[in-house]
Amino acid sequence: MEILIRPARKEDFIFIKDLAIKNFKFSISPLRKINLKEAENKIQAILKSWENLLKTHQNLKILVAEAENKIIGYVMLKEQKDLITQIPEFFGLDLAVEKEFRKCGVALALFKEALNKAKELNLKYFSCLITSNNTASLNLAQKLGLKEEYIIMLKRID
């Protein structure tokens, strides 16, 4: 299967929103006890603003993976400064792949293109946030040479 990675176009946003809603639960820590329906409503509200954000913020980018004449995945990226060092970096905000195309190299192709875009922008660092139970994403990140930098600790207070 040939995978094409390209910048998202306006007509891609319906697919991107649908895929993001189907996959948002993989971005939620299992340590957080939340109502998934409420979380989905919040995600939908955020997604409504993506298109406008892309028009007004040049530091946000979405790349899509296309195969067999359909979009099968995306990655959303943001140029930002590291919270502590203030060194510019490319940050992976979200990555999702259609279920039937997982383990086919789609996420790998999206990740590699994100790293290429960081290089094109002369950014020396790429980072992303992965929930601790998402072993597939953790393994992929490590395969591409990403290393654990910060550890976020969480305790639920009842």
pLDDT (0 to 100) of residue 16: 87
Tell me, what CATH number does 60's domain have? 3.40.630.30
Is residue 116 situated within a structural domain? yes
Is residue 148 situated within a structural domain? no
Is residue 153 situated within a structural domain? no
pLDDT (0 to 100) of residue 155: 82
Is residue 16 situated within a structural domain? yes
**Could you tell me which of 128, 154, 2 has the C-alpha nearest to residue 65?**
2
pLDDT (0 to 100) of residue 7: 93
Is residue 157 situated within a structural domain? no
pLDDT (0 to 100) of residue 125: 94
Is residue 150 situated within a structural domain? no
The pTM is what?
0.84
Q: What is the pLDDT of residues 21-39, one digit of tens each?
A: 787 777 776 767 777 677 7
What is the distance between the alpha carbons of residues 96 and 107, in angstroms, rounded to a whole number?
8
pLDDT (0 to 100) of residue 50: 65
The residue range of the domain holding 16 is: 4-143
Q: Which residues of the chain have pLDDT under 70?
A: 29, 31, 36, 45-58
Strand order in the sheet with 88-97: 4-7, 60-67, 70-81, 88-97, 126-128
Counting the structural domains of the chain, the total is 1
